Amino acid sequence: MSRPLPVGLVQAAARHHSDPGLDSFASEVAGLTRAYPRVRLFAYPELHLCGHRRDEDPAEVMRAAAQPLDGPRGAALAALARDLGVWLVPGTVYELAEDGQVYNTAVVYSPQGTRVASYRKVFPWRPHETTGSGTRFVVFDLEDHGRIGLSVCYDAWFPEVTRHLAWQGADLVLNLVRTPTVDRTQELVLARANAIVNQVFMASVNAAPPDGIGRSVLVDPEGRVRAAAGPEPELVLTEVVDLGEARRVRAYGTAGLTRVWDPFAAGQAPLELPLYEGRIDPARWRAGPDRAGPR
């Protein structure tokens, strides 16, 4: 059985990419752990550590801020999570990969100071974003709590992303966002829709002004908004979630009725999917924690 998980979704403006040693960020997170001592997982918005001023060229900033995940920034983040004893999702960072490309990558650090997951954004917002595209869906396990999937901003507009994370057994999907535009209204609809059709918790963590317009939200597996922020310049959205609730909803159905992971009759033929040159195989359809997927 899972245990309740206290989470803190940090709606804040991005820090400038030139912050040496992440000193100010470390002070910020340390302050949050004192203010919210029961929170076990803190999650930040997209590119929180790689901000830029409006007079800076984003492409130049991207190159200047890009580091390998095991570089100095990664070492500092791992040490910070270990020193504070929390699960830390510091948003996404610009990752300089071995193939020479720069990716927009979400990273997760455990209370032991280990990087347990990294996810490269599969759907950059073209043509404005020029980072490389990731090629895999990523989930990770939180001991005694459940499984969490990662997505980044525009990924939420593509139902295949959240569906694959839920199929891999994710109970909660962290969607790390940096949206300063009017379509945040649609993103809030998508957060609820992705939660409902996949029977999974959705946390959409947006940046605060001037990098985003806030309105972060946490939605439960039946589509109910459990916590929501307005356009505040800085706010920590806190809630205690039982990730086992996602598995309960899948087993008994939304409102005790709708079971979206169990629609096929025994022996039903696969459904061809011309768009993907593939198919839905009923034998592979059900979600479950045994589907670890790529890390």
The token pair that represents 270 in the structure block: 């696969």
How confident is the model at residue 16, as a pLDDT?
A: 83
Residue-wise pLDDT tens digits, 93-124: 999 999 999 999 999 999 999 999 999 999 99
Residue-wise pLDDT tens digits, 282-294: 988 988 877 655 4
Residue-wise pLDDT tens digits, 150-163: 999 999 999 999 99
The token pair that represents 247 in the structure block: 């598995």
DSSP symbol at 272? E
Ordered domains of the chain (ranges, CATH): 5-260 (3.60.110.10)
Name every residue whose Cβ is closer than 8 Å to that of residue 200 and which is 6 or more positions away in sequence.
149, 162, 165, 166, 170, 171, 172, 173, 194, 221, 246
User: Which 3 state secondary structure label does DSSP give 34?
Assistant: helix
